[in-house]
Amino acid sequence: MSMRELAVNEVFRLSDSDRSYRVLWISRDQKNAYIFDMNTLEMPTLTSYSELRRQADDGILTLQENALDLSVVNESELSEGERAVRDEIWGFIYFLTNNNGSRTLARSHKI
């Protein structure tokens, strides 16, 4: 059975809930991926790339074709708290992707 390759920025919806996950980073060796739960303000989580692919192939995760057709929010419309959360999350992503997906700050995650 041929499994579909996943790509950064794809958004998947969990079939039995309203939860959506965005793929933020995939390791070069395709062993790990960082995903972001779009329904919460939690930090990105490390998961197995092969498990994501299996769940997509099995229909547990469904690709959301137009998921990134989101409105753009002006920087001036964000509260200080919203900016702080955004900056913390993107700082974390930067650290992880520039340190080979280090697990030191990430927790393993299974959907």
**pLDDT score of 53:** 94
Cβ neighbors of 8 (< 8 A, separation 6 or more) are 23, 24, 25, 26
Fill in the DSSP letter of residue 75: G
The pLDDT confidence band at residue 91, using thresholds 50, 70 and 90, is: confident
Strands annotated E in 38-107: 45-48, 61-63
The pLDDT confidence band at residue 72, using thresholds 50, 70 and 90, is: low
**pLDDT score of 67:** 63
**pLDDT score of 65:** 81
Q: Of 11-15, 28-32, 62-66, 105-109, where does mean pLDDT reach its minimum?
A: 105-109
Separation between Cα atoms, residue 72 and residue 109, nearest integer Å: 29
Region of 33 (left: φ > 0; alpha: ψ -120 to 50; beta: rest) is beta
Top pLDDT among 44 and 106 is at 44
Contact 64, 14 (CB under 8 A): no
**pLDDT score of 80:** 93
- H/E element, 67: none
**pTM beyond cutoff 0.85:** no
**pLDDT score of 70:** 56
**pLDDT score of 107:** 45
Mean pLDDT of 84-98: 80
